[in-house]
Amino acid sequence: MSCDRGNCRRQQVTVGSGYLTIHAERSETTQGKHRSEFRYGSFSRSLALPVNADEDDVTASYRDGILTVSIALKTAEKKASAKKIEVKAGK
């Protein structure tokens, strides 16, 4: 997953309970008189992860204003074979 978070001073990525949450904050710094067309403030998004997401294998990088988060997927586990249940006759 990638998102544009240009010039964000603070960024936090958390993973848990089947969700990925990204929180970032951009604050305005002024140097003399100028006009700014950028949006400032906080940003937060939570995304549901697929069932096979490995929450213990997550990496995040920030480069050229783009935050990239990679989440590994767990390998397919063998499905449990069907179990035969004996039905007992009532009295």
pLDDT tens string for the chain (91 positions)?
A: 656 555 566 778 899 989 999 888 776 666 667 666 666 778 888 999 998 888 989 998 888 778 888 999 987 664 445 666 777 767 6
The answer to the question of residue 81 being in a domain is no
With contact defined as beta carbons under 8 Å apart, do 10 and 69 qualify? Answer: no
Cβ atoms < 10 Å from Cβ of 13: 16
The answer to the question of residue 90 being in a domain is no
Number of domains in the chain: 1
The domain that holds 47 is classified in CATH as 2.60.40.790
What is the model's pTM?
0.62
- Angstrom CA distances, 40 to 14, 21, 24, 27, 64, stand at 22, 19, 10, 6, 18
pLDDT at position 80 is 46
pLDDT at position 78 is 43
Rounded Cα distance between 30 and 34, Å, is 8
What is the extent of the structural domain holding 46?
Answer: 2-28+39-73
Q: Would you say the C-alpha torsion 88, 89, 90, 91 has a positive or negative sign?
A: negative
pLDDT at position 79 is 45
